[in-house]
């Protein structure tokens, strides 16, 4: 057994691997093609933020969007992990927000540039408490939702994912070795929208977890 506490993976985990456009309806709402293979990007561990601390608006964006996602916490590392045994490498889950500077992302896309400024800033990855694997026996069939100021904006099922969790673990680990404490963000359903300073974001997985974050501007 590792001496490190997997339930506090955000304190020592080394990377956050994100999957873009993994829900067809979300790809369509942003006028993107539905991908034939996963779209990957990274966030640094400094992106993590926990309840009680605010999501900070980057100074260079005027269109900060929420994206609610299921996060998969890796408990056993590996390279080229087969789909058939992929779930043995999962320790548990978290509810995540992939906060995105959409105007910056659109500009990066138009110039063919990486999305780092749009996706990897401090507080761009709010997360819930750790959810042990046994609490979600079928992660491919749970309901995610997000409200802004008590108005429902996103509500979708992980059954709508284009690429399943075992597929993603296999695909990612063929390219980037997975390590204990890594987090995979599995994509967002449709309904993303812009948030403003002082907005309150509440998100949940039906029957499992809820979390609340305030949006603030760096003082």
Maximum Cα–Cα distance across the chain: 49
d(CA 42, CA 45): 10
Whether residue 192 is contained in a domain is answered as yes
Whether residue 19 is contained in a domain is answered as yes
pLDDT at 1: 44
d(CA 175, CA 107): 27
> Could you tell me the pTM of the whole model?
0.96
% of the chain beyond a pLDDT of 70: 99
Domain count, the chain: 1
Give the range of the structural domain holding residue 135, as residue numbers without chain letter: 6-217
State the chain's mean pLDDT as an integer: 95
Whether residue 181 is contained in a domain is answered as yes
Whether residue 1 is contained in a domain is answered as no
Residue 144 maps to which CATH number? 3.90.850.10
pLDDT in tens, 10-67: 999 999 999 998 998 877 777 778 889 999 999 999 999 999 999 999 999 999 999 9
Whether residue 212 is contained in a domain is answered as yes
Whether residue 82 is contained in a domain is answered as yes
Residue (of 119, 152, 139, 121) closest to 186 by Cα position = 139
């Amino acid at each position: 057994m590792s001496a490190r506490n997997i339930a506090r993976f955000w304190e020592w985990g080394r990377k956050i691997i994100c999957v873009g456009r993994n829900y067809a309806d979300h790809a369509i709402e942003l006028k993107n093609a539905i991908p034939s293979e996963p779209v990957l990007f990274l966030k640094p561990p400094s992106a993590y933020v926990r309840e009680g601390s605010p999501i900070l608006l980057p100074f260079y964006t005027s269109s900060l969007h929420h994206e609610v996602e299921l996060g998969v916490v890796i408990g056993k590392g590996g390279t080229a992990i087969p789909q058939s045994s992929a779930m043995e490498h999962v320790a548990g889950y978290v509810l995540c927000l992939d906060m995105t500077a959409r105007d910056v992302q659109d500009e990066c896309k138009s110039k063919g540039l990486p999305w780092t400024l749009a996706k990897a800033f401090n507080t761009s990855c709010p997360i819930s408490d750790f959810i042990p694997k046994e609490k979600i026996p079928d992660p491919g069939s749970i309901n995610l939702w997000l409200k802004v100021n008590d108005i429902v904006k996103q509500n979708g099922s992980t059954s709508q994912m284009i690429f399943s969790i075992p597929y993603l673990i296999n695909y990612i680990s063929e390219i980037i070795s997975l390590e204990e404490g890594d987090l995979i963000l599995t994509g967002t359903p449709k309904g993303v929208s812009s948030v403003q300073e002082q907005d309150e974001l509440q998100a949940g997985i039906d029957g499992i977890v809820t979390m609340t974050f305030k949006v603030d501007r760096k003082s």
